[in-house]
């Protein structure tokens, strides 16, 4: 009888946890020497997992506030929803933007768009690197697609602000410049981390995101 009584509450708990930590499409050590295994393990299984867990908790509280018509609580939960929701969105993109078979330059339509909007791949790489280096504190450097203008744009977002939700740009390539993304290996020298990360950029994934964004 006691076990039967637990079924409903546990079922409710499971149903609330709708966001889950995505599996990486490669091993934690697969991006070495550019990003070491310890960083990847902590970044994915600790940092990203925390955003996912907190997002589920915040969404449940928000759901309860909506049910009660408690607008004050709904408003007070917005910062946590933005931070943890953005952290989940951003990292889910970030992992797919990286690959042990990455690096080099993109091909096809994405390369043509980069040349059109930035003059050359070298100019694009220099600009995105500069924007990412220049993020004050924690945040992200992004290559996004402006659907209204039909062109690529570079942008920076603070903390875990999601690109599309804060700028309207569709995210194609995100570079995490929070210290937890590089400090264990590169200490406080963010430019060295940014120089290294270009060796593992998954251009096939970025190109696929670009093709989808234009539809």
Asked if residue 204 and residue 118 are part of one domain, the reply reads yes
Asked if residue 69 and residue 46 are part of one domain, the reply reads yes
Q: Residue 58: enclosing H or E segment and its boundaries?
A: helix 49-68
Residues whose CB is less than 8 angstroms from the CB of residue 163 and which lie 6 or more positions away in sequence, other chains included:
90, 140, 142, 144, 155, 157, 169, 170, 171, 174
Give the Cα separation of 205 and 215 in Å (integer): 16
Asked if residue 75 and residue 121 are part of one domain, the reply reads no
Asked if residue 165 and residue 86 are part of one domain, the reply reads no
CATH number of domain containing 113: 3.55.40.20
Quote the pLDDT of residue 108. 97
User: Looking up tokens 């050590």, which residue turns up?
Assistant: 29
Cα→Cα distances 113→87, 105, 146, 151, Å: 28, 13, 12, 7
The verdict on whether residue 91 carries a ligand-binding annotation is yes
Domain limit, last residue, from 75, 97, 119: 97
Quote the pLDDT of residue 14. 40
The answer to the question of residue 61 being in a domain is yes
Q: What is the DSSP string of 26-55?
A: S-TTTTTTTS-HHHHHHIIIIIIHHHHHHH
Domain limit, last residue, from 97, 121, 136: 97
Q: Residue 176: enclosing H or E segment and its boundaries?
A: strand 170-176
The answer to the question of residue 58 being in a domain is yes
Residue 170 backbone dihedrals phi, psi, to 5 degrees: -80, 125
Q: Residue 14: enclosing H or E segment and its boundaries?
A: helix 2-16
CATH number of domain containing 79: 1.10.287.990
The verdict on whether residue 48 carries a ligand-binding annotation is no
Asked if residue 163 and residue 139 are part of one domain, the reply reads yes
Q: Are residues 144 and 163 in contact, defined by beta-carbon separation less than 8 angstroms?
A: yes
Backbone dihedral region for residue 59 (phi beyond 0: left; psi -120 to 50: alpha; all else: beta): alpha
Give the Cα separation of 180 and 39 in Å (integer): 7
Asked if residue 90 and residue 112 are part of one domain, the reply reads no
pTM surpassing 0.85?
Answer: yes
The answer to the question of residue 42 being in a domain is yes
Asked if residue 124 and residue 69 are part of one domain, the reply reads no
The verdict on whether residue 176 carries a ligand-binding annotation is yes
Instruction: Provide the residue range defining the domain that includes 91.
Output: 37-97
CA angle 204, 182, 186 (to 5 degrees): 115
Give the Cα separation of 6 and 182 in Å (integer): 43
pLDDT tens track of the chain, all 215 residues?
A: 333 333 333 333 444 558 999 999 999 999 999 999 999 999 999 999 999 999 999 999 999 999 999 999 999 999 999 999 999 999 999 999 999 999 999 999 999 999 999 999 999 999 999 999 999 999 999 999 999 999 999 999 999 999 999 999 999 999 999 999 999 999 999 999 999 999 999 999 999 999 999 98
Quote the pLDDT of residue 115. 98
Q: Residue 145: enclosing H or E segment and its boundaries?
A: strand 139-146
């Amino acid at each position: 009888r006691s076990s039967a009584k637990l079924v409903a509450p546990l079922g409710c708990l499971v149903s609330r946890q709708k966001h889950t930590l995505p599996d990486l499409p490669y091993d934690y050590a697969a991006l070495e020497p550019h990003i070491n295994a310890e960083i990847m393990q902590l970044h994915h299984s600790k940092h990203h997992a925390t955003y996912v867990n907190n997002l589920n908790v915040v969404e449940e509280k928000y759901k309860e506030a909506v049910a009660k018509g408690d607008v004050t609580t709904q408003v007070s939960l917005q910062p946590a929803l933005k931070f943890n929701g953005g952290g989940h969105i951003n990292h889910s993109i970030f992992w797919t933007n990286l690959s042990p078979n990455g690096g080099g330059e993109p091909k096809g339509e994405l390369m043509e768009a980069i040349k059109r909007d930035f003059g050359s791949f070298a100019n694009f790489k220099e600009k995105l690197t500069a924007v990412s280096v220049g993020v004050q504190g924690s945040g992200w450097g992004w290559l996004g697609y402006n659907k209204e203008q039909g062109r690529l744009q570079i942008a920076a977002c603070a903390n875990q602000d999601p690109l599309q939700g804060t700028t309207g740009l569709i995210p194609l390539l995100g570079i995490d410049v929070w210290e937890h993304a590089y400090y264990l290996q590169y200490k406080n020298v963010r430019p060295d981390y940014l120089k290294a990360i270009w060796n593992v950029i998954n251009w096939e994934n970025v190109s696929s995101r670009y093709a989808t964004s234009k539809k």
